[in-house]
Amino acid sequence: MRFLFVGAVFVTLGACVGPTVDVTPVGPVPPGLSPRDPQAVKHFELRPENGVEVYDIEAYGDAKPKLFAAIRQKAANLGCDGLMFSAPAATASLDNAAATGQLNEHHQKPGSHIEAVCIVLQAAAATSGN
């Protein structure tokens, strides 16, 4: 009985952790990148001409606004100048609530999935290293 209680506590705590953010390098990381303010991370519709794709960032397991904030925070920590989402921001997420197969709202799992690409501007990377 004690093991069931302990297991239930860990499952409950695990469900409240928040978004999960995965980062995958996609190209060479320019030298001299440093963390920045999350508000300084721009949103690019298209990759700028002097932009280099450095990381794929994927967030899932929470509500959309929290996922966007988690991606922006991770991008800022990595030194990204901006983010380019895989699809327009309105359609960049897959809502898991409808995919649970349950009959009522009490069995729906909140969560979404959002992907973005970290963009570093070459001119910014070259000047920050000096």
pTM of the model: 0.67
24 inside domain: yes
Show the DSSP H helices in the chain as ranges. Answer: 2-15, 64-78, 122-128
9 inside domain: no
The pLDDT assigned to 17 comes to 77
8 inside domain: no
26 inside domain: yes
122 inside domain: yes
Domain of residue 121: give its range: 18-128
6 inside domain: no
Closest by CA position to 128, among listed 8, 9, 4, 40: 40
Report residue 121 as tokens. 């501007």
Q: How many domains does the chain have?
A: 1
3 inside domain: no
Closest by CA position to 30, among listed 108, 102, 120: 120
pLDDT digits (tens, 9 = 90+) for 70-117: 999 999 999 999 999 986 444 433 444 455 555 555 444 445 899 999
pLDDT digits (tens, 9 = 90+) for 12-68: 455 567 899 999 999 888 888 899 999 999 999 999 999 999 999 999 999 999 999
68 inside domain: yes
